[in-house]
Amino acid sequence: MTQPADLGHDELVRLLTCTDPERLARLYAQADAVRRETVGSDVHLRALVEVSNVCARRCAYCGIAAYNGGLARYRMDEGAVVRAAQHAARLGLGTTVLQAGEDPALDAETVALMVRAIKESTGMAVTLSLGERSNEELALWRKAGADRYLLRFETSDDELFAQIHPPAEVGALAHAAASATAAMASATEPASRGSQPRVQEEGAMLARTSNPRFAVLESLRELGYEVGSGVMVGIPGQSFETLASDLQRFSELELDMVGIGPFIPHPDTPLGAQAMANRANGHALARLDEPSQPSQGFEPAKPTDQVPADANTTFKMLALTRLLLPGANIPATTALGVMGEEAARRQALDCGANVVMPNFTPPRFRALYSIYEGKDAESESGKVLEDLCRQIEAAGRTVGTGAGSSRSFQQRRNGQGA
């Protein structure tokens, strides 16, 4: 069994800032070899069902945040969710991922019913991605049969986390429309100053000093879930030092699943508006527009530089994650696909990734689950799935069958350690 690579913080920073195409090609080849030796050639497909776009939170980057009053909201009922999962099961998928905003109406019992119905009628593995939820809810869902849980910690920099995640309000949903106006006003203000790289949400920085998602991840582990987390790449205010710490956090948490995607600015969010203005002003985020191949003779970036929200940095993160967590399941994320389409997915599969998550949200809801733009482009029709399988085979890989739980989780369950 391939051992996790012994990569310290400085070495991680060095590789993340590296722009030498030959060194990067070696990194990707090494990650690909570890992927092959550890999890084999299978690419597992997960049916993503976006159950509700109602969200009580006001995350500064997310298009379905409560402040976005212009967005029509939907919530699928149990029948629609189960039918979407059954559709995926008929097409041969072994896992359903139920994802939603932090929707208070998706209460403990409602979700438990969905999980039980999917497990009973399809036998699929069920992954939940429903935000920061209470231990009681997580325990109930686990008892109902949920196998896995995804909760990205987004960044290991507590201060940056606090700045982009205002604390949840009591009755947040009722206030969503009113706070939309205020949030958008504060969004344009720092952007117009141009030089301020971080969102200045008054009070947000003082309100929280640590990322509460780590405690949730710990609870998930104790409850016996297969645990997934991850980060966005290129959040304004994120440095290469921060990304290196993110990778070290993945190792410490011994994650079974790691989702990493580029930050895609959404114009109706404070952070998206700011990133777009920074780009217009020629700031570091202008590198969003860079071609996806590194140019020859580039100076390496500085460790404290703003991380570009681009495909290349995401590939580096995927490759390093594979080296640090050889037995993890690592998706070629939708955000990466939105940014670089089929070629980006292919490259992700070539540098450590082994999972793809086709969208099975019914088409009439899909455009409304707009956490970032361009997300609703794909479709779940049999034809799209056939194309996806063909792409996987063209990459020299096989389409996984069954539940496809991570190697690390299987080993932990068999008492062999990760």
- Please count the residues of this chain forming the interface with ligand 5AD, following the rule CB under 6 A: 12
409 binds ligand 5AD (CB under 6 A): no
Among the listed ranges 35-43, 182-190, 241-249, 261-269, the one in contact with ligand 5AD (CB under 6 A) is 261-269
Of the candidate residues 96, 372, 400, 404, the single one contacting ligand 5AD (CB under 6 A): 372
232 binds ligand 5AD (CB under 6 A): yes
Question: CA-CA distance, 2 to 37, in Å (whole number)?
Answer: 7
Tokens of 405: 């739980």
Cα angle, residue 149 at apex, residues 131 and 221 outer, rounded to 5°: 110
Among the listed ranges 132-140, 213-221, 256-264, 391-399, the one in contact with ligand 5AD (CB under 6 A) is 256-264
CA separation, residue 254 to residues 249, 349, 396, 408, 417 (Å): 8, 21, 28, 8, 10
CA separation, residue 196 to residues 161, 268, 302 (Å): 16, 19, 19
250 binds ligand 5AD (CB under 6 A): no
Question: CA-CA distance, 148 to 97, in Å (whole number)?
Answer: 9
Of the candidate residues 46, 119, 165, 266, the single one contacting ligand 5AD (CB under 6 A): 266
Of the candidate residues 51, 55, 62, 277, the single one contacting ligand 5AD (CB under 6 A): 62
DSSP result, 320-384: HHHHH-TT-B-B--HHHHHHHHHHHHHHHHHTT--EE--B-S-HHHHTT--SSTTGGG---SHHH
142 binds ligand 5AD (CB under 6 A): no
CB burial readout 59-95, b (16+ within 10 A) else e: bbbbbbbbbbeebebbbbeeebbbbbbbbbbebebbb
In terms of CB distance, is 115 or 258 closer to ligand 5AD? 258
154 binds ligand 5AD (CB under 6 A): yes
Q: Tokens 């939105």 label which residue?
A: 338
Of the candidate residues 227, 264, 285, 318, the single one contacting ligand 5AD (CB under 6 A): 264
Least separation in angstroms between CB 233 and ligand 5AD: 9
Please, which of residues 160-219 interact with ligand 5AD by CB under 6 A? none
In terms of CB distance, is 17 or 99 closer to ligand 5AD? 99
In terms of CB distance, is 270 or 327 closer to ligand 5AD? 270
Least separation in angstroms between CB 266 and ligand 5AD: 5
Cβ atoms of 229 and 152 within 8 Å: the answer is yes
Among the listed ranges 79-87, 105-113, 257-265, 280-288, the one in contact with ligand 5AD (CB under 6 A) is 257-265
Of the candidate residues 28, 67, 263, 360, the single one contacting ligand 5AD (CB under 6 A): 263
Tokens of 79: 């029948």
In terms of CB distance, is 261 or 358 closer to ligand 5AD? 261
- Residue 215 CB neighbour total at 10 angstroms: 12
273 binds ligand 5AD (CB under 6 A): no
In terms of CB distance, is 48 or 88 closer to ligand 5AD? 48
Amino acid identity, position 171? G
Site string for ligand 5AD, 6-45 (x = CB under 6 A): ----------------------------------------
- Residue 400 CB neighbour total at 10 angstroms: 24
Question: CA-CA distance, 31 to 350, in Å (whole number)?
Answer: 8
Of the candidate residues 125, 323, 335, 353, the single one contacting ligand 5AD (CB under 6 A): 335
Question: CA-CA distance, 258 to 163, in Å (whole number)?
Answer: 23
Residues found near ligand 5AD in the complex (CB under 6 A): 61-62, 152, 154, 232, 261, 263-264, 266, 335, 371-372
